[in-house]
Amino acid sequence: MHLKNIRLKYFKNYDQTEVQFSPEINCFVGSNGSGKTNLLDAIHYLCLTKSAINGMDNLNVQHEKEFFTIFGDFELEGKEIEVRCIFESGKKKQLLQNGKAVEKMSEHVGLLPVVMIAPDDTQLIKDGSEERRRFFDAMLCQLSKSYMDSLVRYQHFLKQRNALIKQFAERGRWDQNYISIYDKEIINLSKEIAARRADFIKDYEPLLKEFYAEISENQEEIGITYETQCLLGNFEQEFQSMAQKDFILKRTNMGIHKDDFIFEIKGYPLKKFGSQGQQKSFVIALKLAQFQIFLQQKKTKPILLLDDVFDKLDDLRIQKLMQLVADHRFGQLFITDARPERSREILKEIAADCTFFLIEKGSLKGWNQ
């Protein structure tokens, strides 16, 4: 699979841009703030229908404009797929495949797998459990439509239950008969989703360990522990016993939205005991394992987006990562770098078609100097 071209209009700092891509390596170079990451984000939109950076679509419209469009042509398993993403202020976002409107954005997710490695990925380790749940749920949603459907249903019932609890608090009375329908859905969906997360980690963890060993000279043992109460035999009883706490705190205090994925090194939490270098290696391994499991399960190499990695990684990790590229472990790559000479030097030894693009203030052109 690869992206053949992209056409942008009023997307972030791009007025109107059209560019053809190499099916192998594409490197966007230019000063900070020129729009390199914005191009990666546009590709992310085409694959996953949303930004990797801004959660609200209107934040991606160019200043003083009312809309943006992103068009791209993909080649997937010998077939041409044109994807159009159109957003206009005050209207519902539109997505079209080969000119046909996609009714639900979730129907598109997973068709064009993508993996992005970005400078702030270490927040997966440093931040709270919500970031880690979002990371693994995003993977599972690209891999399984049924998982996404279950997760969406869970989020719907959780929102409804929390709203009902707030009503109970305002009235000063808990109504178990009224809330029981939401309890049943949340309990059943929690069991289902937790079981699927646990099964996924069994497949994913060996890949994580493999890549960590490849990109790090350290051979310390690493791993992931999935923490959940939803697979306990008495989960339903425990959930019901939380009614008083839910009433006091005005929210649901058990369910898969409370789960966590604990990253470990030598049996201890990586967040507390891992060095900066170990954390960087772990994060890269997380993303490369994501790439590999997509390849295994979807039988196609995802697009790989590397945002500013040369500036954030030390020479050892850059060398290890580029060795994987040189071994043709990946498919189409998009790389950003603020220092063109560095990119040239790093990529010159790789036997692959590499196209450079110079970006200046939202203007993009081929660069062969």
Q: Which domains does the chain have, with CATH numbers?
A: 1-113+300-369 (3.40.50.300), 122-298 (1.20.1050.90)
User: What value does the mean pLDDT take over residues 266-294?
Assistant: 92
Q: Model confidence over 210-232: pLDDT tens digits?
A: 999 988 876 789 999 999 999 99
User: What value does the mean pLDDT take over residues 318-347?
Assistant: 89
Which strands sit side by side in the sheet containing 114-117, from one edge to the other?
114-117, 303-307, 333-337, 25-29, 354-360, 363-366
Please report which confidence band the pLDDT of residue 319 belongs to, taking 50, 70 and 90 as the band edges.
confident
7 within 8 A of 354, measured Cβ to Cβ? no
User: What value does the mean pLDDT take over residues 296-318?
Assistant: 88
Q: What single letter denotes the amino acid at residue 76?
A: L
Q: Which residues pair with 338 in a beta bridge?
A: none
- According to DSSP, the β-strands at 354-360 and 25-29 are parallel
Phi–psi pair at 208, nearest 5 degrees:
-60, -45
Q: Secondary structure of the chain: what % helix, strand, coil (to 5)? A: 50, 25, 30
Residue 367 pLDDT > 70: no
Number of H helices and E strands in the chain, helices first, is: 12, 15
Please report which confidence band the pLDDT of residue 316 belongs to, taking 50, 70 and 90 as the band edges.
confident
What Rg, from alpha-carbon coordinates, does the chain have? 22
Q: How far apart are CA 137 and CA 347, in angstroms?
A: 33
Nearest to 123 by CA among 296, 263, 219, 27: 263
342: number of CA atoms within 13 Å, CB side? 17
255 within 8 A of 150, measured Cβ to Cβ? no
User: Other CB atoms closer than 10 Å to residue 357's CB: what's the count?
Assistant: 20
Q: Model confidence over 145-197: pLDDT tens digits?
A: 999 999 999 999 999 999 999 999 999 999 999 999 999 999 999 999 999 99
Q: How far apart are CA 241 and CA 56, in angstroms?
A: 37
Q: What single letter denotes the amino acid at residue 338?
A: A
322 within 8 A of 350, measured Cβ to Cβ? yes
Q: How far apart are CA 282 and CA 278, in angstroms?
A: 6
Whose tokens are 């590499």? That residue is 354
Model confidence, pTM:
0.90
Residue 62 pLDDT > 90: yes
Give the pair of three-digit tokens for residue 202. 């069994």
pLDDT at 352: 85
Residue 287 pLDDT > 60: yes
Residue 296 pLDDT > 70: yes
Give the pair of three-digit tokens for residue 94. 């539109």
